[in-house]
Chain A
Amino acid sequence: MLTFILRRIALGFLVLTLATALLYILVQLAPGDPASAMLGPRASPKIKAEFREKLGLDRPMPVQIVNYLIAVGQGDLGTDLKTKRPVVETIAAHAPHTIALVGAALLLAAGLGIPLGAAAAVRRNGWFDRALGVASVSLISIPPVVIAIYGMLFFSAHLGWLPAIGAGEGFWDNLRHLLLPAFAVGIGWVGYIARLVRASMIEVLGANYIRNARSFGLPSRMVTYRYALRAAIAPTIAVLGVGVGYMLGTAAFAEIVFARPGIGKMMYDAVTLRNYPLTLGAVLCATALMVAATTVADILNAALDPRFKDGRE
């Protein structure tokens, strides 16, 4: 198991390195010259050339990539063009808000979706199952932005229960500020996860070993949760791992709507200002989060079902 975990982490780093190199190439290939963007259109060619030389942009692409990778490895993501401080610092200031938001949304999606789906599978075709089916589809089909805006209008503007914008100060205030955006990002996933868990749970409940467990007189709670859910949850974990990437995208919307100082909001501002180093740093940060999420998902799956680990090697 330990070797598997170490190997997954090593693989995660490999993926991250390749993604970083690819990102660098993409940014360089994109139309628009960073020198013109940063120095303004009226800068003389000489100044531009000096600027390029200073940033190493005049050297061959492979050298640039390696240099960039080395710099990233040392934690140097360049200088934020707006604040003139290291990009790493800006990201470090913003990332916790995004991690908290995606984490809370994930918790909501899994914490509600998994038990609801399992309960629906056990009571298949009952009224609860049918009601959940309708509710799931409704939740999936409402765009998160709509939920965000109406949530804000109702709970903040109308009822005044929750703050509308910002991230707050201190733990409890932070939590209050987190509720609405997390709800907006995560609620659609509750329905999706519930449907997924229900489907795989129904499949597992028909398996031979479930009938066997019943034939040994195990209590039905034990059969449902210890035997069935354990096996049924694997596809859901994999989906949630990949889902973090999707949630990061939704989180950007939520951060803009709620003026929450996270990576998404930061990236939005950076792109509008053509703040290249910061944009690149923000994308890298999102990529790292995504890779970390899929790695954790794989490790969790291997812990739940050891065949997962052995089949991969």
Chain B
Amino acid sequence: MGKPLLEVVNLGVKYGPLQAVNYVSFQLEPGRILGIVGESGSGKSTLLWALTRLLPEAAALNSGEVWFDGEDLLRLAPDRLRALRGSRISYISQDPMTSLAPGLTIGQQMMDVLHREPWPAREKWARAVDSLDWVSLPDPEARMHMYPHELSGGQRQRVSIAMALMLKPDLVLADEPTTALDPTLEVEILALLRRLQRETGAAVIFVTHHLGVVHSLCDEVLVMKDGDIREAGTVAQVFAKPQDIYTQCLLRCDPARIINPTRRLPTMADAMAAPALPMTGPAGRIDTKSPAVLTLEGLSVTYHRRGLIPTVLGGKTESIHAVRQVSFDIKRGETVALIGESGSGKTTVARAILGLAQPEAGSIRLNGHELRGQNRNGWTAARAKVAMMFQDPGGSLSPRMTIARQVVEPLIIHGRATEATRGRALELLAMAGLESRYADRYPHELSGGQARRAGVARALALSPELIVADEPTAGLDVSVQGEVINLLNGLQEKLRIAILLITHNMAVVRHTADRAVVLLKGQVVETGPTAAIFAGAKEPYTRALIAAAQHNIPEPESL
């Protein structure tokens, strides 16, 4: 073993009374990639930002030493620590949408990173352009003059990476750098990181909740839970023979790691006891005789953008064809997955089904009744049969109402206030797997998985025939994704609900959907039974999504 680049000894961080990082120690050798994996609240990000004392005010370092190049970063004078930041140690942070300052151009921000360098402005500019080119950002010279909001999420993350690696640091600290990205983009960014790591020889600490990412990117791994390191070792060792029970459960219940489709996934609670059950066929569950619950035929939606002055002056308006000629149907008891990247029109289809977007052409039939052209009352009646589960589980609950109060809210809205009793609320919560002690809590007192369950309970309030589930597992820890999938599958079997699943997480598709519809730029490019799509997808895009779900990161040479 060589001399470590970074040595962390007994590091402790407190948030108020909570010991968020519980006296942890580890080492990192130069040029190695260390993955720190754990669920939300495990202290993994806190640990990362503590290394260079960039914690929020509420957090306090209460123990430890961080040795880097012969100096303890926790006791280094602020000026000397600042001199290391950006030049020898740099960060790539989580959300590319908020990690760049909105009011400064990309060029200004990149030049600022070089503020200490003795080069003339022209050379700084040239070097910044070079780094953007290095991270494969097309047309770097023009991007330098752009503002962050003019770039896509993937492009912004490339900019952040260019900024972090511009001065060739020895250590790169990456805090979930791909979590906010689409799966296909995530794979691209990971491939980029791997290429840059090889070219610069920097050591990397990569914090993520994604086991697959660790497996394909890292050399070593730390598994964290509640502020403790539960397991440490090389990736090969830990993934092949996990020693700690928590790691073992985590590895067993990640939906992405379960290749054989199953409608009942193992969860953290029973991962060691029950192996994944084989997939049960759709026979008996899907009603093939009655007309489909939902039928879309040739659905097209166009958005128009116009301002006040162009309208007054009769200027031309800009039209965006969000969705063109989309057709599919969902039968009783069936789950259809609508797959596509951000901006492909998935959400627009959902909005059209709920009457929130005005279709230009085509038909939307619910149990054979045409919904297009319905008046307000017609739509209200239709919405009682179609329930929406929104993407952000916490954000789609009202922060001012208790859970019991808002799960029966749909009954009140649809004029059935007499049924909106506490008993009904508890019944709905029980169906969604939430115990009655959560009934009087407010959303901020729930975990992500519990908030998701509350969202499911609310969706069930009107006994819908169709549930539109928008990314039901997005933002949830691996350990609870399986639970949510099991919940939806179980409810479907019991209540014979039709489910339209909107997602780009192929792992979820595999374990829930009977059929899949793939959208690309507003048009259906592929459709068929889920198993057939997984076995032999025709579209390169679909194949890329499937590969992304399995974390087959392409080798840099093939890019």
Contacts and interface: CB of A to CB of B under 8 A. Distances in A.
Contacts of A310: 149
A212 B175 CA distance: 11
A14 to B, nearest CB: 8
A222 B102 CA distance: 15
B55 to A, nearest CB: 9
Contact of B99 (A212, A214, A226, A306): A212
Given A208-B98, A227-B104, A231-B101, A214 B54 contact: yes
B104 A307 contact: no
B559 interface: no
Contact of A215 (B91, B103, B115): B91
Interface string B72-103: 00000000001111110011011100111111
Contacts of A207: 98
B413 interface: no
A218 interface: yes
A120 B189 CA distance: 40
Contacts of B164: 216
B71 to A, nearest CB: 15
A209 B91 contact: no
Contact of B103 (A10, A211, A230): A230
A215 B50 CA distance: 11
A217 B93 contact: no
Contacts of A219: 82, 115
A10 B115 contact: no
Interface residues on B, range: 35 or more
B328 interface: no
Pick from A208, A214, A219 the residue with the most CB of B within 10 Å: A208
B23 interface: no
Interface in B114-140: 115-116
Q: Is the interface of B mostly helix, strand, loop or mixed?
A: loop
A209 B83 contact: no
A231 B103 contact: yes
A206 interface: yes
B115 A222 contact: yes
A304 interface: yes
A305 interface: yes
Contacts of B93: 208, 211-212, 215
Contact of A216 (B56, B104, B113, B147): B113
Given A7-B309, A208-B93, A217-B116, A307 B102 contact: yes
B154 to A, nearest CB: 17
Contacts of A231: 101-103
Contacts of A313: 307
B553 interface: no
A175 interface: no
A16 to B, nearest CB: 15
Given A216-B163, A219-B82, A306 B147 contact: yes
A129 B309 CA distance: 45
A248 B457 CA distance: 55
A204 B54 CA distance: 16
Contacts of A222: 112, 115
A132 interface: no
A213 interface: yes
A298 to B, nearest CB: 14
B274 interface: no
A7 B315 CA distance: 13
A209 B101 contact: yes
A230 B104 contact: yes
Interface string A187-231: 000000000000000000011111111111111001000110011
Nearest to B84: A217
Contact of B54 (A10, A124, A215, A230): A215
A180 B437 CA distance: 64
B94 A304 contact: no
Given A215-B54, A215-B86, A307-B147, A209 B98 contact: yes
Nearest to A212: B99
B52 interface: yes
Nearest to B307: A313
B17 to A, nearest CB: 20
Contacts of A305: 102-103
B149 A217 contact: no
A219 to B, nearest CB: 7
Contacts of B116: 217
Interface of B: 49, 52, 54, 56-57, 82-87, 90-91, 93-95, 98-104, 112-113, 115-116, 147, 149, 160, 163-164, 307-309
22 contacts: A209-B102, A211-B49, A211-B93, A212-B93, A213-B101, A213-B112, A214-B85, A215-B93, A216-B86, A216-B113, A216-B164, A217-B83, A217-B87, A218-B113, A219-B115, A222-B112, A227-B104, A230-B101, A231-B103, A305-B103, A307-B102, A313-B307
Interface of A: 7, 10-11, 124, 206-219, 222, 226-227, 230-231, 304-307, 310, 312-313
Interchain residue pairs A-B with the least CB separation, the first 8: A217-B85, A216-B86, A217-B86, A208-B98, A215-B91, A305-B103, A209-B101, A306-B147
